[in-house]
Structure 1
Amino acid sequence: MAAEPIEDDAWRDGATDSHLAESLGDALQARARSGQPMRGFQLKRAALAGIDLVNHGSRSGYQLHDTDLYRADLQNAHLFALDLRGSSLMKADLRGTNLHCADLRDCNLLGIRLDGARLDNVIWDRQLLQERRGRERQRAGDSDAARQLFEEAEETYRNLRLHLEKAGLFEQAGIFFHREMVMRRLQMPRFSGKRLLSWLVDLFSGYGEKPLNVVLFSLGLIFVCGLLYFLVGVRHGDLPLRLALERGWLANLADLAGCLYFSVVTFTTLGYGDITPHGLARPIAALEAFAGSFTMALFVVVFVKKMTR
């Protein structure tokens, strides 16, 4: 028996909560297949378990924009490629749901239940809704509201990360872990030591998710220290290697290359001994050697963490 059609006003004013409750899923399926727009529907606590909103025979899915699905029951639903942009899925039950290729940008995902859901190729926001709103409140000077939104964003990122890890989607899980830690940092007092330390960990390694950050920091430190050695001078046997304006640019370039070589040797703590520091170059070399040992150990930890996934 075909589902009784529901008027547009009923979809948007929440009358569907009580109207045709048993066949609401069938009515929504029929609405989707009719090609009529689906926007701004009020489906709070709707019983939609097992609903099929897959646009069969088409590479693009149906659109269900700006819909309120607060605490909706969508267990084992088929939502392949469904465009849910702008919708609220707060505390919605999507256990066992097929969300493959679904578009969840601009959605409120706080408290969403995703146990056993298929999450392959879901289109996520680079920054979740709560994070964007929190940053807006922060720019407006409302620190209390911003902190509350950052807390909600942290909780949402953590929830999504855990479900993505269970699904074996470690690359996306790593991205959400990084955002989770950023949200935790933004809740700390602005000029506190903990926040500064957290920012440094993010800068150097992306909280263990960005090995390239460690490599770039290493190259930058080697280059900066090489320039400092070139300015203050080091010795290659009895010959000084340093900037000398009275000499030609080729000679200075050769000395700069020697200083960069010494910087690499110092950073990696190889210590061949063919070039030696003196004067102000000694504390620079000591600092670079210490930083190099720490940075190489950090790179190994971050790289192994990424590869063992």
Structure 2
Amino acid sequence: MSDEPTCAYVSLENLSCCEIAGDDGLCFWHSPAIDKSGMKLKDRLEAFAREDGLLQGIQLKEADLSDVDLVNRGYNIGYDLSYADLYRANLTGAHLFNLTFRHGSMMKADVSNANLHCCDFTGTNLLGVRWHGARIDSMIVGEQLKQEQAAHRAGRWQKHKTALDNFEQCEEIYRDLRKAAEQQGLFEMGGHFIQKELTMRRYQYPPWSARRFFSKFIDLFCGYGERPLNVIVFSIILIFVCAIAYFLLGTTSSGEAVGFSSAQDWQTNIGHFLNSLYYSVVTFTTLGYGDITPVGASRLVAAIEAFTGSFTLALFVVVFVKKMTR
């Protein structure tokens, strides 16, 4: 048994490295003090992975890992490089299928033409990553980016400048991911990223500003053009709200009042509500048969509903066609 000291690195999962330690108490792979800039480490890293070396937390800033193959063949679980630092690393053409890379740093790394299928980058810094030609289908980035979480924390602590900077970084990351997804023909994924991109942009607007309010409305209304179902839900809600307004404010049909009255029995009131609902539908769709006519304040409601309905139907067609023709 060797008396040489082993690496002092211990991961957050309490996994220890068994490599020989250097002067700083850490091995070649885990020592940030060893400059690996430009070092061609493809073969060494592949051998280290095959020998079940601890890949978590490895420090490979600016290392040359082009064409590295880190596919854990024969196993359902890929290699785990969580907490690793691959700042500006060259990973062009790398094979990283099913790799776990959580809470690490890929900042400004080059993954051009790499296979990142099923990789998990949850909590990883992806700012400035070059995605050109990379296969990113089924890639996971988590519900929130690392900078997104930091931005929300900074906002709660009233550190607005820090929050703004992090939201700007998030917007850039999501924009790059969206472009990469669209380049690969992954339009569903691209649609998700554009929603996140525009959401990050919204957070950069001043609170309570008109731009922020309008952006939030568009998000709720149609998910920035990516959620046609939202338009349908909005339409149904508007139709029912206006129907209730017509029922309470009153309309006329063939000279007879149509609306709620405490003097009427419940069957008559239900019938009048159904007539109000019918009138709301034809007004929303701008059909306007003319068999029911608004009176008094109902005319204002009808005008607003007709305008909103025509706009909503046109928007739904645009959003639906956009989704279906991808």
TM-score class, shorter: over 0.9
Counterpart CA distance in 2 for 1:259 and 1:96 is 60
The alignment partner of 2:235 has SS state of helix
Deviations 1:31-57 (A, max 9, x none): 222224322111100111111100111
- 28, 31, 38: which one pairs with 1:13? 31
Confirm or deny that 1:127 pairs with 2:164: no
Over the residues paired in the alignment, what is the CA RMSD in angstroms? Answer: 1.7
What residue number does 2:285 align with?
A: 268
Confirm or deny that 1:105 pairs with 2:122: yes
Confirm or deny that 1:257 pairs with 2:286: no
Relative to structure 1, the CA distance from residue 128 to residue 18 in structure 2 (aligned partners, 3 Å threshold; closer, same or farther) is: closer
- 157, 163, 167: which one pairs with 2:180? 163
Residue pairs, 1:35-184, within 5 angstroms: 35-184=52-201
What residue number does 1:225 align with?
A: 242
Q: Provide structure 1 residue ranges, at least 5 long, that are not aligned to the other structure.
A: none
TM-score by length of 2: 0.89
The offset of 1:226, in angstroms, is 0.2
Instruction: Report the residue type matching 1:121 in the other structure.
Output: S
What residue number does 1:299 align with?
A: 316
Larger % of helix: which? 1
The alignment partner of 1:152 has SS state of helix
8 A contact 1:205–1:213 mirrored in 2: yes
The alignment partner of 1:157 has SS state of helix
Q: Provide structure 2 residue ranges, at least 5 long, that are not aligned to the other structure.
A: 1-17
Greater Cα shift, 128-137 or 174-183: 128-137
8 A contact 2:38–2:62 mirrored in 1: no
Instruction: Report the residue type matching 2:189 in the other structure.
Output: Q
The offset of 1:281, in angstroms, is 0.7
8 A contact 1:6–1:27 mirrored in 2: no
The offset of 1:18, in angstroms, is 4.5
8 A contact 1:134–1:146 mirrored in 2: yes
Counterpart CA distance in 1 for 2:236 and 2:160 is 37
What is the number of equivalent residue pairs in this alignment? 304
8 A contact 1:62–1:82 mirrored in 2: yes
8 A contact 2:36–2:63 mirrored in 1: no
Relative to structure 1, the CA distance from residue 18 to residue 228 in structure 2 (aligned partners, 3 Å threshold; closer, same or farther) is: closer
Instruction: Report the residue type matching 1:17 in the other structure.
Output: D
The offset of 1:6, in angstroms, is 5.3
